[in-house]
Structure formats: C-alpha cells, structure tokens
Structure 1
Amino acid sequence: MKPLTPEQQAFAEEHHGLLLDFMAKHSLGDDYYDLLANRYLKVVVRYLSEEALRKYSFSTVVWYHLRSELSNYARDQVGKLQEIPIEFYCEIPAPEIVPIDDGLWRVIEDNLTYKQFEAIQFRNQGYTNREIAELCGVGRKAIEKRFARIRKILSDYKEN
C-alpha cells in the first residue's frame, strides 16, 4: 500500500475511534488490530477517492468493510490446522491399561474372527463405524453387527 496523503492521514486519525469501537463491540484483542487497521486504511483511501461512497456515512462504510474483513479471516481460519503446544500434551495422564486375564484371552482367541479383531483395532485408533466400514470394504451395518458380536462374546465371558 502506498503512503497516505496528508488529507487521508488527517481523515484516518480523526475517525480512528471507529476502528477501536468496532474492536471493542466484537471483543477483539490487540492481535486483530493489524488485520483490521490495514482494511481501515484502504477504506479511508477509497472513501476519499470515490464520490459514490460519500453518499453514505463513513462509519457505515468502514463498519461494513471491517465486518467483511473479520468474516474473511474467520473463514480462512476454519480450514487451517491448529497448532497445539507440546505443553498441552504433557498435562494428559497416560491411560491405565487393564490387564486381561488368561481366560479372556482364550475366549477372544477361540471366538473372535480376524475381521472382528480388525474392527476393534480401528475403533481403538479413534475411527467411527462409518470410517471402519470404508476401510474394511463393508457396509456400516456389517461393522455394527461385528461390534454386537464382540459385545456378546465379552458379556458371555463375564457371566461365566
């Protein structure tokens, strides 16, 4: 962006409160200032150079453009991966591993098919039934039946 003329600078300084009011109304922190200030200065230049815009009040025009800039920024952020600091992971306690007794292992080995075992592995990795079905090349109902069979095997073992 090229430097503002003295007239544009004076106008921008005079109406700078509109930018601050917008940020306050939307509870935006200082980290949004640069983003919105750049758009604000572009609006100042357009407003003073385009006669058609001056039929509207400057506050209306600038708020419209600032809302648009904020909306564009939010839309762009949706698709970006969010970085999570490593310190976050340090606070998560490790899950407790419950030991499986020999009897349960025998029941699992005798009754559990490879396909059921595969479904359990995918479930433990966080996949949904729909995703597991796609990975296994079967319908979602087939995966639900596999998990129903697994629950039945475990239920029968607990009863004995």
Structure 2
Amino acid sequence: MMHKLTEYQRSFAEENHNLVKDFLYYNQLNMAEYYDVVAMGYLEAVQAYDENSRARQYEFQTIASRKMCDCLFKYWRYNSRLKRRVCLISLDGTIYEDSSFTLAETIEAKNATCEDLVFQRMMIEEVMVHMTEKEKTVVQMRAAGFTGREIGTACGVTASGVYGRLYRMRKRLKRLLSVQESEAYAYT
C-alpha cells in the first residue's frame, strides 16, 4: 500500500527516475498518456525496494519494471472493460431523433410471434411501474455490467445495500409475474 515517501525514498526515486522514461520508450508508450500510470508503479517499486528486505535480493530495475508493468496492465484492464464503453439507454426512448419507434419496439426475439412480443412488452411495462426510479437505475446499471460497489457509489448506498435491493426486487417481481401468469391462464 502506497504511503508518503520518506526522504531517502524520495532521493532514491529522483536518482533512478530515468527508468520511467526508459520503460515508456522501450514499450513505445506515449509519455503524455501513460506517464502517470507508470510513475505510480515506479513509486511502489521504490517503497518496496526500501522497505522489503526480500526485494533487495534483486536489482532495483527488475522490481521497478515489474511494478510498472503491473500498473499498466491494471490500467488497461480497467479501461477495456465493456461497461466502460456502454451508455445507458431507456427502452422507452427513441433510437434516432427523427424516429417514432422506441428501442423496445425494434428489438426482435427469435421465433417469437407478434402476440408474444406484445405480451412481453406489456409485462415489462407493468413490472416497471412497481419499481422506483432508483431501482430502475440499479437494474439498468447491473444489466450494463457494473459491479455492486460501482452501483452503490453512483447511487449513494453500500454494495451490500445494492445486492439486498436486487434480491428484494427479484422476489417482488417473481411474485408479480406469477400473479400475472395465473391471471393470464385464467382468461384462456
């Protein structure tokens, strides 16, 4: 865990700073884009090398290179997750500004009859009525791939609170759907 550098660690980091530039150059990385990412790994290496006697059995360059690679990998993994590129849209919103069709109306299910699609749409709309705006947001974010912690941060609740809400919503929706299905069978 990173903490404030000691005076010795600061001077050691300044003496070996060329390793950061060499790492960026060797890996053909843009200095402006990746310097901060790689520098954090470098500073972690400085602290590990100073505070961990086992790390000193290796050359500092080896420790620094490994830590910079780790930070770079974490950065790439974090930014390449699908949810980072997803934008949330409503099923009730139109696809294009000049279109009168909603997204839900344009989604086609394989081998589904028009009657089934209408029934599914009606059930979704009826179930959505029983959700609060915050619950709708939680469901949309979860469907987009966000974790409980990320949803909690966005909505101002804890991760366990998010999972609890999802659990209670699922139970409530299952009850509603079972009632709706039993009513649908009663009419046939």
Matched, 1:24 2:37: no
Deviations 1:116-144, CA, capped at 9 Å, x for gaps = xxxxxxxxx8x9xxxx6xx2237xxxxxx
State how many pairs are aligned.
91
Match of 2:72 in 1: 70
Q: 1:33 aligns with which of 32, 35, 44?
A: 35
Q: 1: distance between equivalents of 2:57 and 2:37?
A: 26
Gapped runs of 5+ residues in structure 2?
88-105, 113-188
Q: 2: distance between equivalents of 1:3 and 1:69?
A: 18
Matched, 1:49 2:51: yes
Match of 2:110 in 1: 136
Would the aligned equivalents of 2:49 and 2:55 in 1 still touch at CA under 8 Å?
yes
Question: What is the CA-CA distance between 1:20 and the residue it aligns to?
Answer: 0.7
Question: What is the CA-CA distance between 1:8 and the residue it aligns to?
Answer: 0.5
Match of 1:14 in 2: 15
In 2 relative to 1, CA 26–49 (structure 1 residues): closer, same or farther, beyond 3 Å? same
Letter in 2 for 1:8: Q
Letter in 2 for 1:75: R
TM-score normalised to the size of structure 1? 0.50
Structure 1 segments (4+ residues) deviating >2 Å: none
Identity across matched positions, percent: 31
Question: What is the CA-CA distance between 1:3 and the residue it aligns to?
Answer: 2.6
TM-score normalised to the size of structure 2? 0.43
Letter in 2 for 1:137: N
Match of 2:98 in 1: none
In 2 relative to 1, CA 58–82 (structure 1 residues): closer, same or farther, beyond 3 Å? farther
Question: What is the CA-CA distance between 1:82 and the residue it aligns to?
Answer: 7.4
Query: Which structure has the larger Rg?
Result: 1
Deviations 1:90-124, CA, capped at 9 Å, x for gaps = xxxxxxxxxxxxxxxxxxxxxxxxxxxxxxxxxxx
